[in-house]
Structure 1
Amino acid sequence: GYDPAAVAFVPISGWHGDNMLEPSTKMPWFKGWLVERKEGKAEGKCLIEALDAILPPARPTDKPLRLPLQDVYKIGGIGTVPVGRVETGILKPGTIVVFAPANITTEVKSVEMHHEALQEAVPGDNVGFNVKNVSVKELRRGYVAGDSKNNPPKGAADFTAQVIVLNHPGQISNGYTPVLDCHTAHIACKFAEIKEKVDRRTGKSTEENPKSIKSGDAAIVNLVPSKPLCVESFQEFPPLG
């Protein structure tokens, strides 16, 4: 959920332009919006002020490097170039990276974004980086690059996930094997054990070891990937959880 005190609620009319750029005279009942958050208070009357009050999210540069691969290219005269977006941490030339779950270690020779060399790539940057002594056949979409010397990523033999069934015909039981899309990975994962049903809003347990779940249910499930898969806890690395 969200904290209503930290959200600006602004009545507007896009059709007539009321309360968009300047306060409207047609809603005397509206005294203005106010948000309270740990960074401080903000207040105003119209939409443009509410947009200006949004705080840009901090880039998680202090976390260990995680870069899910979107693709891998072989470029003549350069070599193997994996491509992806930096999700956490910093990628620099000279970094010794490891690709999980294959556990391939190599050095980054150069980093580029939009055909320009970078001294460092930060979260949000879509980059290509040239690696030493690794063939294009050894890497694939869904692998995750990390710093081999700072909490490197690893493959998971199994993991526990919160699953919400939005729409599914019939019941889902242990053994069900859907395809999971997590970051850039696309891998079939088996429901090894449905541990408990939980309330979708509070997260509290409502039933232990249910035989099945159906549309509208939320559950905590132990999943086993059919091929090696790199996942992380949502608390530590949200884009990989």
Structure 2
Amino acid sequence: GIAPAGLTNKKMFSIEQHKKVLDSAGPGNSVGMSIKGIGKDETVSPGDIIYIEKEGECLPVKSFTAMVVVQEHPGVLKPGYCPLIFSRTAKIACKMTKILWKMGKKTGGQKVDNPPELSQFESAEVEFEPTQPLFLEPFEKCAALGRIAVMDSNRLKMLGKVTSTVSAS
């Protein structure tokens, strides 16, 4: 199947990566494919996720939690902040809904639960809600779909890895 396009029952004939033919592609690999059975009104876009239908449907996340490190930000980041999240070829605006904990120089290296804001160079676990379909997996399950970069105004704000996801059903 192909998500979020919702295409099912398609046959894949060849897989290529950098002009080399591959026998298979792993999770998170960026590849080109020859797929039979796609109609003129059906489209596959860069960033779409292809999955094996027998193993279950691939669903977008409703929300996700990530361990992040704030890289470059002059002020503070609070819940409600809505930056762009990059994961592989996906680029989706996501709203930061909650800061679960943070740790940094200001906290003396101790975890502070439910802080009101984040500052530069602090580590934290935060919760995000995507504004459009986004496909992520926890880093332990799939490293390629578990890494994120958080950007705002063409500047890197945070780097992180996904710790948990809640699928949209």
For 1:144, which of 14, 30, 49 is the aligned residue? Answer: 49
- Any idea what the Cα deviations from partners look like across 1:56-93, whole Å, max 9, x if unmatched? xxxxxxxxxxxxxxxxxxxxxxxxxxxxxxxxxxxxxx
Contact 1:198 1:220 in 2 (8 A): no
1:235 alignment partner AA: E
3-state secondary structure, aligned to 1:149: helix
In 2, Cα distance between equivalents of 1:163 and 1:136: 40
2:7 alignment partner AA: I
Say whether residues 1:182 and 2:87 are aligned partners: yes
Say whether residues 1:101 and 2:8 are aligned partners: no
Higher relative contact order (CA 8 A, sep 6+): 2
For 1:222, which of 121, 127, 130 is the aligned residue? Answer: 127
In 2, Cα distance between equivalents of 1:215 and 1:174: 15
What are the residue-to-residue correspondences of 1:225-236 with 2, within 5 Å? 225-236=130-141
Higher strand fraction (1 or 2): 2
For 2:113, which of 190, 201, 208 is the aligned residue? Answer: 208
Say whether residues 1:110 and 2:13 are aligned partners: yes
Give the equivalent residue in structure 1 for 2:24: 121
2:13 alignment partner AA: S
In 1, Cα distance between equivalents of 2:56 and 2:110: 32
In 1, Cα distance between equivalents of 2:41 and 2:123: 40
Contact 1:177 1:188 in 2 (8 A): yes
* Higher radius of gyration, 1 or 2: 1
Give the alignment's TM-score, normalised by structure 2. 0.71
3-state secondary structure, aligned to 2:144: helix
Q: Give unmatched runs, 5+ long, in structure 1.
A: 1-97
Give the equivalent residue in structure 2 for 1:161: 66
Q: Give unmatched runs, 5+ long, in structure 2.
A: 147-169
Between Structure 1 and Structure 2, how many residues are aligned? Answer: 140
1:206 alignment partner AA: K
In 2, Cα distance between equivalents of 1:131 and 1:157: 31
What are the residue-to-residue correspondences of 1:75-94 with 2, within 5 Å? none
Give the equivalent residue in structure 2 for 1:53: none
In 2, Cα distance between equivalents of 1:134 and 1:199: 53
Give the alignment's TM-score, normalised by structure 1. 0.51
Change (3 A) 1:111 1:216: same
3-state secondary structure, aligned to 1:238: coil
Give the equivalent residue in structure 1 for 2:162: none
Give the equivalent residue in structure 1 for 2:153: none
In 1, Cα distance between equivalents of 2:68 and 2:112: 14
- Any idea what the Cα deviations from partners look like across 1:161-181, whole Å, max 9, x if unmatched? 111101111000000011011
Fraction of identical pairs, as percent? 27
Change (3 A) 1:185 1:115: closer
Deviation (angstroms), 1:136:
7.0
Deviation (angstroms), 1:140:
1.8
